[in-house]
Amino acid sequence: MDRSRIIAVDFDGTLCFSAWPDVGEPNHLLIDYLKKQKKLGNKLILWTCRSGVALEKAVSWCREVAHLEFDAVNDNVPEVIDYYGNNSRKISCDIYIDDKACVPDDFCVIQDE
């Protein structure tokens, strides 16, 4: 399997400062990071709860406003599907970027407070 890193990124509150179902201002710092990763040969997945028209708006926003193209949208990249011989519901990636994410060690500390 290709050894490029796979980065999954959320849309609402992460790539785009917005509240569902609207789209809003771009997170330029994150967008610049993702463009750099893409140029380095890494794969990008747009991983969002959006579907239907709302998903189409998000993908269009990514192309037109952020100038980002993804290797997969709400799906695994083809190399992962081929490697495992199936397409798991869980996205296989090296990095998840999401405004609701929590690192396990940090979560344990928060719960102990």
Q: What is the CATH number of the domain that holds 19?
A: 3.40.50.1000
72 Rama class: left (phi>0) / alpha (psi -120 to 50) / beta: beta
What values do phi and psi take at 60, rounded to 5?
Answer: -60, -45
Structural domain for 70, as ranges:
6-112
Q: Is 113 exposed, middle or buried (0-12, 13-18, 19+ CB in 10 A)?
A: exposed
Residue 46 lies in a domain: yes
The pTM of this model reads 0.87
| Mean pLDDT in residue range 30-52 | 96
Output the pLDDT for position 1. Answer: 55
CA distances 31 to 1, 72, 78, Å, are 26, 16, 23
pLDDT at 111: 54
- Answer whether residue 23 shows pLDDT above 80: yes
58 inside domain:
yes
Query: Does 1 map to a domain?
Result: no
Rounded-to-integer distance, Cα 72 and Cα 54, Å: 17
Looking from the CA of 5 toward its CB, the CA atoms found within 13 Å total: 12
Overall domain count for the chain: 1
Instruction: Give pLDDT tens digits for 69-111.
Output: 999 999 999 999 999 999 988 899 999 999 888 777 776 665 5
3-state secondary structure of 37: helix
